[in-house]
Structure 1
Amino acid sequence: MPHPAPHRPGAQPADLRSFMTAFPTGVSVVTTLDADAAPRGLTCSSLASVALSPPTLVVCVRTASPTLEALLAHGRFALNLLHERARATSDLFASGAPDRFARTEWRLPLGAGGPHLTADAHAVADCAVVRTIRFGDHTAVFAEVSRVTVRESGQPLLYGRRRYAHWSDAAAVPQPAAVPQPTVASLPEAGAPPAPSEGAARVRR
């Protein structure tokens, strides 16, 4: 079995960013609290479901991020999935502006892992960190989900090719008509005599 070629010192690494822009995703904001109970947060599109039992997901965050430092110290966070009218909030939390929470509606429900962006999220998962893996310039944070809050009327905000898009626009495209499946004649069971053709006599033994 062939093995991948090792990375050679001095070789130019592939630009993964151009590749990943071709994979549209939803948009989320990770929120947590620092040691002084002040809110911290950042925009994140690198997340995935890991397991249903126990309910576990993973988010990948830049290792040098102050929000990641606070998240790991706190051990908990909230994952806010943004609805399609929350583009400005996505840009705000990606900007690193120090007053981002002063410009956003949020609350901290009892037992929450981090602030819930009440005006901008259509779904929120409260999470507890169970494992971290540092690789390169990012850290993968594995977390068990303790509670999920979903607003059924919300429509997800999408991002790909360095542009935003609305889920409602994509969902409005008519689905292709179902292609009828050809009828397949059933085969006789093993050892069974073939069925007589039309008009043929049945032989009784």
Structure 2
Amino acid sequence: MSHDRPDATGGAIHGDHPFLPPPEQRNPIRRLRGRLTAPVTLWTAGTASDPTPGARAGLPVSSLLVADGEPGLVLGLVDDNSELWEVLEATGRFAISVLRWEHRALADAFAGVEPAPGGPFRLTEWTATEWGPVPTTVQTWAGCRLLQARPFGWALAVEAEIEHVVLGDETDPLVHRRGRYVPLPSAEQR
């Protein structure tokens, strides 16, 4: 069934991704991962106000696990070729911001799939913390100290100690499923 519809010029707007291979040619591991609903967080490191290249970086991370304990720990998968890893490794500290539905464009800009003239740090205001910059519109975030990193599949498994936590109202978390952001029903809708 085609979901194509005409646009204003008479061309077609495709309902599906135009370059997506047929299901039988897609990677089954990626397809499995895509069926797991995941929170979208933004990991940032460096100095919020320093626009010097390499002074700050960020990356949306959905592959993460938080473990309770003394101390609390976080484990996340980060691309070792990312700008974030360079800054995180150099500073040994980073902030994890839990994104909400309103942060979709910010996540896409840091993922490099949405344009961000002047860079993604220009898209919002930032609060400087000792762990890294945090968007002022984020209500829940954690400050982390790097413990270790090791190769894990396509990425680095980054393990860190959670040193600081700020908890806010999270009624509309940004979640990712099957390659798209999906809204969760509010408590009133359940």
C-alpha distance in 1 between matches for 2:33 and 2:152:
17
**1:89 and 2:121 correspond:** no
Q: Secondary structure, in 3 states, of the residue corresponding to 1:101? A: helix
1:27 aligns with 2:40: yes
1:22–1:161 CA contact under 8 A, matched in 2:
yes
Q: Of the two, which has the highest radius of gyration?
A: 1
Question: What SS class does the counterpart of residue 106 from structure 2 fall into?
Answer: helix
Distance 1:108 1:85 in 2: 21
Cα pair 1:158 1:164 within 8 Å, conserved: yes
Residue ranges of structure 1 left out of the alignment (5+ in a row): 1-13, 175-205
Which of 128, 150, 154 is residue 133 of structure 1 equivalent to?
150
Q: Distance in 2 between matches of 1:49 and 1:43?
A: 16
In structure 2, the partner of 1:17 is 30
CA apart distance, 1:152 = 2.0
Identity of aligned residues (%): 31
Question: Equivalent residues in 2 for 1:160-171 (5 A)?
Answer: 160-167=177-184, 169=185, 171=187
Residue-pair matches, total: 159
Q: Output aligned runs, 1:41-190, within 5 Å.
A: 41-95=58-112, 99-109=119-129, 112-119=130-137, 121-152=138-169, 154-167=171-184, 169=185, 171-174=187-190
The aligned amino acid for 1:103 is L
**Greater share of helix:** 2
CA distance in 2, matches of 1:60, 1:78: 15
What TM-score does the superposition give when structure 1 sets the normalisation length? 0.69
Query: Normalising by the residue count of structure 2, what TM-score does the alignment of the two structures yield?
Result: 0.74
Instruction: Flag structure 2 segments of 5+ consecutive residues without an equivalent.
Output: 1-26
